Structure formats: structure tokens, C-alpha cells
Structure 1
Amino acid sequence: MDQTGIIAITVFAGLVALWLIFYFIPVGLWFSALVSGVRISLLQLILMRWRKVPPSVIVSSMIESTKAGLSLDPNELEAHFLAGGNVPNVVHALVSAQKANIQLDFKMATAIDLAGRDVFEAVQMSVNPKVINTPPVAAVAKDGIQLIAKARVTVRANIKQLVGGAGEETVLARVGEGIVSSIGSAVSHKVVLENPDSISRVVLDKGLDAGTAFEILSIDIADIDVGKNIGAQLQMDQAQADKNIAQAKAEERRAMAVALEQENRAKAQDARAKVILAEAEVPLAMAEAFRNGNLGIMDYYKMKNVMADTAMREAISKPVDKK
């Protein structure tokens, strides 16, 4: 290897070593912090590199807080980063809270951030309330008319309830429940249409923001539409059901009548069979009387004449068919 190659390798190795030195010893960050009034040692920045904490994030956050008049401990910022928190977002929230005269300390801000909520957005919502549009809520007044209402809920973040407090879904569910209760207690749907603000008053009096991360400032009814006549529909359905029940009972009675008729026919057939059996005993009794000498031949002919006369009278008494 010639002398030129050795010099190139030496220069390359020197550049790599210089890059490693400036990477693990962030002199530029230390100087920026120094001129910004942030007291942080160069050794602490080096140890941040070894602990996998980006010194630029900590230093920039310290500079921002110092310029805003806040005194933060770099060790606490580093611990919050290692815990999975968003250090810049927390610092932004603390600065905004101070400017807006909102009571928010570092411990509360980090707790809110680690709970999964956007602490900076919460501070902004405390300064500038948020409007939540509810989905259409259908309810039925006492006169049976359905009303479909939409509301706008103006909420402000409750900093103290952000940790463990319910979210927007709970607020919307409670507001919908209050709207249904208010419309359902109205005597007529016309009363609700004439005074839609009565819904807002009833809902606000229920204290729906209890246990939530928000404070409800106002509830405004944006739109009310008249839906179906649920009362009439229910009456029609009830009438149809009563009709079906009556038809079923009538069919049951008809089936019972048919069964009774068939039973009576069976009884009549049984009676006729018994008569036929009894009539079959007459020739046998006459034969037995002839054998015993209790019936003579003249008596037999007299009986036949009587039977013939009876048959003739029956034939005469029957109506004559003109055809």
C-alpha cells in the first residue's frame, strides 16, 4: 500500500472518530442550552446518549420551559421519556396552561400524558371549548308522535378529571338519554316543537358531566324533525293482533262444532245399528213362537195384513213428485 492510501485511511478513521466524539459528546446542544440559560452538564448529556434518551428532545424542552418562566428538572423529563411519555407535548401543555392561568403542574401533566390522553389538546380545549354534534336521537312523546332531535354540546376539558374520567362517548350517550327522557315526558309533541329549549334545560339539570373528563357548558338543540305516528302504528298493530286472536278463537269454536256434529252423527249411526239389530230379532222370535205353538198361522197372516195396510198408508201420505 502506498503512502496516499495510508493517508486516506487515516483521514477516514479520524473523521469517524470525530463523528463518534461529537455524537456522544453533544457540545452543540450543551452550548445552546448554556446560551439559553439552561443549566445542564455535559456529562448528563453524554449519559443520556448511553440511556437511549435523545438529548435534543430534553434540551429543547428545557429551553422552551425556561423561556416561559417554568423550572423543570431534566431528570424528571428524562424519566417521563423513559416511561413512554411525550415530553414535548407535556412541556407545550405546561406553557399553554401557564399563559391561560390554568392550574396544571408537572406531575398532573405527566399523569394525563401517560394515561393516553393528549394533555396539550386538553389545555387547548379548556381555553377554547369544543362543540360535539350528537347523532340523531329519536324519542316518542306521550301523544305517540315520534320526534328526531339533533343537539350541539359545548364542552370544556376538566383537567382534574382527565385521569380516570369518561370520554366523549359517555357524554354523547348521557345527552341522548336526557333528550329521550325529556321528549318522552312531554304531554304533546307540539309542546316540544314550540319550546325546544325545554330539552336543554332538562338535560342540563341532570348533571350529565359527572364523572367525565369534560364540563358541559351548554346544550343547544340544532334540529327537530317529526317522525312517524308511533302511537297509531302501535294501535294498528294491536288491532291486527286482536283480530288474529279473534279469528283463531272463532276457528277453534268452529272446529269444536264440527267435531261435535261428527260425534252426534256417530251416535246416530250407533243408534240405527242397535235398531237394526233389534229388528233382526223379530223374525227369530216369531220362528221361536211357531215352534213353541204360541203363534198360529192365522195370527201370522193378520200381522202381514196389518203391515201391508201400514205400508200402503205411508205410500199414500208421501208427497207426489211432479216429475
Structure 2
Amino acid sequence: MFDLIPVVMPLIVIIVIIMIFLSFVPLGLWISAVSAGVKVGIFSLIGMRLRRVRADKIIRPLIKAQKAGMDVNANQLESHLLSGGRVDNVVDALIAAHRANLDLSFERAAAIDLAGRNVFEAVRMSVTPKIIETPWISAVAIDGIEVKVVAKVTVRTNLARLVGGAGEETIIARVGEGIVTTVGSSQSHKSVLENPDLISRTVLSKGLDNGTAFEILSIDIADVDIGRNIGAHLQIQQAEADKQIAQAKAEERRATAIAKEQEMKAEVEHMKSKVVEAEAQVPMALAEALRNGNLGVMDYYRMQNIQSDTNMKNNIGTTDIGKMFKSQNDPTTKS
């Protein structure tokens, strides 16, 4: 048994070496590449394994590209994969662009893919244009009538401006702005209803696709509807505001008049207090005149009698008998 050890050990070592080699080299993938006419060396596959690059993500797209007649090598695909790109998507886009006779290089396709855009979908949109439908866009004509418009924008991808170009939201916003401007410059909403193609021609002539990733082919008005009478609504609001302002001013004048009336009443009370104050000084003046001899006692009594006689006459004048006597002696009441 010990005589078999020198024979078995080399076999075991050879088997282990073969297993290690197969773990580093995807032999089946290499055979597929060679059979497809793709020149890929064993050491290139080992280098991919050491660089932790999945060889199937490089070899299969490479086979597909070279079968389609594309001039792409493994180093380009591996560099793009290590940069975080989608190699298979880029190769599909290059094949589709080549079939459609579009000018698209690998570097541009890789840049578009690394920018986060679907380069294969962009190539498809270049071949088959896409229709973007805007939401209801509200605009007001000069006569104050609201016009609602829905437009369909036919666009195709501009591969030269896809990196850094604006997206669909910008197209919709610019078309909406053009519709609002065109309707707003119309004298009447009837002219918009009669010639909706005027909106399409005017908006399309503004070059709305500048700086975007698309090329606008056509702008078609899908639907036009009449909304509210904005002019009349604004006039009603203005009249209501004017009414409220007038009411506020009237209330202000009323409050001023009330305040003035209260001030006059206070002034009357103030004058009455001065009269009372002056009347209070009369007895003091009489007493001072009696003390100084300027007024005699008999003079004082005569003044008192005159005052009493005057008060009596005033009281008689306010009674019913006095009013009757006065009416009998008044010549204007006799017929």
C-alpha cells in the first residue's frame, strides 16, 4: 500500500491544480468566445477574475457586438463595467443605432449610460418618436374668457444633446408657456376656437427644444374647451372690493361724527359748569357789597322782591291757566 503513495500523490496534486485553474478560468465561457471568433486570451480571463470582474458580463456582450460588426474590445467594456455602467445595455444601443444608421460611438453611448439615462431607450426613441401629452393648460384671451387646451407633442431623442439636456418636464413646461402666450395675445376666445392650428404654428416656431434632450417634430392640439369668464369674475371681485372700501369709509365718517357729537356734548357740559360756577359767585359778591356798604339793606330786599315777582310770573306762564290767558290776549290767535 505504501508503494502506491508515490503514484497517487502526484495525481492528487495535478487534480488540485486543475481545480484551482478552473476556478480562476471560466473554461466554458472561453470556449464560447473562441467558437464565436472572439479573441480572448486565458490570461485575460484570469486578470478579470483577479480584478473581481464577472467575465460573463464582458464576454457575452463582446460576442454580441462583434457578431453585429461593431468595433468594440474587451478593455472598453471592462472599463465601462468598472465605472458602474450597464455594458449589455450599451451594446444593445450600439447595435440598434448601427442598424438604424445613426451616428453613435461607444464613448457617447457610455457617457449617456453613466449619466443615468437609458441609452437603449434613447436610441429607440430616435427611431420611433414618442408622443408626450400635456395636461389641461389654462389660458385667458384678451376678452377675459378662459380657454383650456390639451396638446400632444411628438418628440424624438437628440443623441448629441442627451447628456446634459433637459427632459420631458421642460418640454411640457415650455409648450404650456407657449400656449398661454398665444391664447393670451388673441383678441377673442372665438379666434382660438376657429383656428386651433394657430397655437401649433406659433408654439412650434419658438424653438422650444433648445437645450433639451429632444427634437420636437410636431405640436398637435388634441382638445380645446371653454372655461370661466375670468374678466367678469375679476370685475365682480373689484366691485365687491370697491363696495367694501366705500362701506369702510362711510363707517369711518360715521364714527368721526359720533366722536364729534360726544365732544360737543362734553363742551356743553363744560360751559354749564362755568355758568354754575359764575352763579355761585353772585351771593359772594352781594355779601361783599353789603360789607363794603356798596349795597343797602333796602336795595337788597327790593332786588329780592323783583326776583320773586319774576319767578312767579315765569311759573304762571308755564301753567295751563297762564297759557290760556296768553292765547286769549294774543291777537294772532283771534279769528
TM-score normalised by length of structure 1: 0.88
Cα deviation for residue 17 of structure 1 reads 6.5
Question: How many residues of Structure 1 are paired with residues of Structure 2 in the alignment?
Answer: 313
Matched residue of 1:198: which SS? helix
- Distance in 1, matches of 2:291 and 2:27, equals 153
Gap change, CA 1:255 and 1:83, over 3 Å in 2: same
Q: Looking at CA atoms only, which structure, 1 or 2, has the larger radius of gyration?
A: 2
Paired amino acid for 2:304:
K
Paired residues for 1:213-224 under 5 Å: 213-224=213-224
Cα deviation, 1:45-103, whole Å, max 9, x if unaligned, reads 22222222222222222222222221211111111111111111111111111111111
Cα deviation for residue 288 of structure 1 reads 2.4
Matched residue of 1:138: which SS? strand
Gap change, CA 1:128 and 1:235, over 3 Å in 2: same
Q: Which residue of 1 aligns with 2:159?
A: 159
Gap change, CA 1:24 and 1:186, over 3 Å in 2: same
Paired amino acid for 1:41:
G
Cα deviation, 1:16-58, whole Å, max 9, x if unaligned, reads 8755533422332223222322222222122222222222222
Q: Which runs of 4+ in 1 moved over 3 A?
A: 11-23, 312-322
Moved more, 263-272 or 140-149: 140-149
Q: Which residue of 2 aligns with 1:110?
A: 110
Matched, 1:247 2:251: no
Gap change, CA 1:240 and 1:288, over 3 Å in 2: same
Moved more, 245-254 or 32-41: 32-41
Q: Which residue of 2 aligns with 1:120?
A: 120
- Distance in 2, matches of 1:25 and 1:293, equals 150
Matched, 1:232 2:210: no
- Distance in 2, matches of 1:239 and 1:62, equals 75
Matched residue of 2:218: which SS? strand
Gap change, CA 1:305 and 1:64, over 3 Å in 2: same
- Distance in 2, matches of 1:301 and 1:76, equals 139
Moved more, 92-101 or 194-203: 194-203
Cα deviation, 1:229-281, whole Å, max 9, x if unaligned, reads 22222222222222222222111111111111111111111111111111222
Gap change, CA 1:116 and 1:284, over 3 Å in 2: same
Q: Which residue of 2 aligns with 1:276?
A: 276
Gap change, CA 1:159 and 1:258, over 3 Å in 2: same
Query: 5+ unaligned residues in a row in structure 2: which ranges?
Result: 1-10, 324-335
Matched residue of 1:180: which SS? helix
Cα deviation, 1:169-209, whole Å, max 9, x if unaligned, reads 11112122222222222222222222222222222122111
Matched, 1:91 2:101: no
Moved more, 293-302 or 264-273: 293-302
Q: Which residue of 1 aligns with 2:144?
A: 144
Gap change, CA 1:179 and 1:320, over 3 Å in 2: farther
Paired residues for 1:236-315 under 5 Å: 236-315=236-315
Matched residue of 2:125: which SS? helix
Q: Which residue of 1 aligns with 2:31?
A: 31
Moved more, 170-179 or 107-116: 170-179
Moved more, 233-242 or 123-132: 233-242
Alpha-carbon RMSD: 2.5
- Distance in 1, matches of 2:168 and 2:203, equals 16
Gap change, CA 1:36 and 1:305, over 3 Å in 2: same
Identity %: 58
Cα deviation, 1:97-145, whole Å, max 9, x if unaligned, reads 1111111011111111111111111000000011112122222222222
Gap change, CA 1:16 and 1:197, over 3 Å in 2: farther
- Distance in 2, matches of 1:211 and 1:218, equals 17
Query: 5+ unaligned residues in a row in structure 1: which ranges?
Result: 1-10
- Distance in 2, matches of 1:12 and 1:190, equals 94
Q: Which residue of 2 aligns with 1:45?
A: 45
TM-score normalised by length of structure 2: 0.85
Paired amino acid for 2:62:
M
Gap change, CA 1:319 and 1:210, over 3 Å in 2: farther
Matched residue of 2:294: which SS? coil
Q: Which residue of 2 aligns with 1:185?
A: 185
